[in-house]
């Protein structure tokens, strides 16, 4: 994993990219942003990804997040993106547009991998749930240092409403909820997840992470809730990490080295 990787994170309003040192989980160049096409249909979005690659004069592997269930590069859902993406091999489309090998994965899963490798989930045993709050609610389900992909827990129903409509950051803004009122909704979501999965730790990520001091102290769930360490860098870093892991497999490097040594209880320096 020694060579740097271009990581790209597709958001609802902006697409961000940076060259990542995947050994240390840090950016090697300033982030570059382009607007997310509206509507985010196939060709305009693929062209935006190519614009990012061209900006960095990039010719190597690319890791890219995508707001959907992704299996073998194919999008199976389209909750917060144009429905024309369903059934599309996103990986193949982006590779053809950029001329580079591309690894695509769910956006919240990418954030979970980054926090597992370099952030708040590093060295954590048991079940860790990372939830990203933004336009929707993404989830990364981590068990003893292993990602269970494509969980999409933001589509659970809470009090008769889909969790995204009830407790996303977009819902907070659109409904003009105070931090206190929004925290009560988060409590309902976290307590529901506690009943279902008995997690050992919740990690809060996404755009609202920068304001965590406004609402985390108001939560009453019995499971600890902490902010993501990598904030809005997590998607880019996790996408790059996944692409580096795929590159190593393609080179015949064998199984991916575990992100953390749970037997030794290794922690960040």
Q: What CATH code is carried by the domain that includes residue 34?
A: 3.30.420.40
Q: Which residue has the higher pLDDT, 252 or 97?
A: 97
Whether the pLDDT of residue 185 is over 60: the answer is yes
Q: Which residues, other chains included, contact 23 with Cβ-Cβ below 8 Å and sequence gap of 6+? A: 1, 2
Whether the pLDDT of residue 226 is over 60: the answer is yes
Helix (H, G, I), strand (E, B) or coil at 10: strand
Q: Identify the pLDDT of residue 135.
A: 87
Residue 267 belongs to some domain of the structure: no
Q: Identify the pLDDT of residue 61.
A: 97
Residue 269 belongs to some domain of the structure: no
**Tokens linked to 136:** 């929707």
117 in the same domain as 95: no
Helix (H, G, I), strand (E, B) or coil at 250: helix
Which tens digits make up the pLDDT trace of 77-116?
987 789 999 999 999 999 999 999 999 999 999 999 999 9
152 in the same domain as 85: no
Residue 147 belongs to some domain of the structure: yes
Residue 268 belongs to some domain of the structure: no
State which residues form the domain around 221: 110-231
166 in the same domain as 145: yes
Q: Identify the pLDDT of residue 78.
A: 86
Per the listing, tokens 């659109």 go with 174
220 in the same domain as 120: yes
Q: Identify the pLDDT of residue 268.
A: 34
206 in the same domain as 150: yes
242 in the same domain as 154: no
Residue 70 DSSP symbol: E
88 in the same domain as 37: yes
Buried b (16+ CB within 10 A) or exposed e, 146-175: ebebbbbbbebebeeebbbbbbbbbbbeee
User: What is the pTM (predicted TM-score) of this model?
Assistant: 0.91
Per the listing, tokens 């506690």 go with 194
Average pLDDT over residues 26-38: 95
Residue 14 belongs to some domain of the structure: yes
Residue 117 belongs to some domain of the structure: yes
Residue 57 DSSP symbol: T
Q: Which residue has the higher pLDDT, 240 or 260?
A: 240
212 in the same domain as 181: yes
225 in the same domain as 116: yes
201 in the same domain as 143: yes
**Tokens linked to 122:** 């590093």
% of the chain at pLDDT higher than 70: 93
Average pLDDT over residues 24-46: 95
Average pLDDT over residues 219-243: 96
180 in the same domain as 151: yes
Distance between CA atoms of 137 and 240, rounded to whole angstroms?
22
Whether the pLDDT of residue 267 is over 60: the answer is no
Distance between CA atoms of 165 and 37, rounded to whole angstroms?
23
Q: Which residues, other chains included, contact 87 with Cβ-Cβ below 8 Å and sequence gap of 6+? A: 74, 75, 76
Q: Identify the pLDDT of residue 12.
A: 84
Overall number of domains in the chain: 2
Residue 262 belongs to some domain of the structure: no
Residue 260 belongs to some domain of the structure: no
216 in the same domain as 190: yes
Q: Which residue has the higher pLDDT, 127 or 265?
A: 127
Distance between CA atoms of 63 and 244, rounded to whole angstroms?
8
């Amino acid at each position: 994993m020694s060579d740097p990787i271009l990581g790209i994170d597709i958001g609802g309003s902006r697409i961000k990219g940076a060259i990542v040192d995947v050994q240390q989980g840090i950016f090697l160049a300033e982030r570059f942003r382009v607007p997310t096409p509206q509507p985010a249909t196939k060709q305009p979005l693929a062209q935006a990804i190519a614009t990012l690659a061209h900006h960095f004069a990039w010719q190597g592997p690319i890791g890219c997040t995508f707001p959907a269930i992704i299996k073998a590069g194919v999008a199976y859902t389209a909750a917060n993106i144009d429905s024309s993406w369903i059934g599309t091999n996103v990986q193949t489309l982006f590779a053809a547009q950029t001329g580079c090998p591309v690894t695509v994965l769910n956006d919240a899963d990418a954030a979970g991998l980054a926090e597992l490798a370099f952030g708040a989930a590093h060295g954590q045993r048991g079940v860790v749930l990372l939830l990203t709050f933004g336009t929707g609610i993404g989830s990364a389900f981590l068990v003893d240092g292993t990602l269970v992909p494509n969980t999409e827990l933001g589509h659970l129903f809470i009090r008769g409403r889909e969790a995204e409509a009830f407790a996303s950051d977009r819902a907070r803004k659109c409904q003009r909820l105070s931090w206190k009122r929004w925290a009560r909704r988060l409590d309902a979501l976290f307590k529901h997840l506690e009943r279902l999965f008995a997690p050992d730790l919740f990690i809060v990520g996404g755009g609202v992470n920068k304001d965590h001091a406004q609402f985390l102290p108001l939560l009453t769930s019995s499971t600890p809730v902490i902010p993501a360490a990598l904030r809005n860098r997590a998607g880019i870093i996790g996408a790059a990490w996944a692409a580096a892991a795929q590159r190593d497999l393609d080179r015949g490097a064998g199984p991916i080295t575990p992100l953390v040594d749970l037997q030794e209880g290794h922690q960040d320096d």
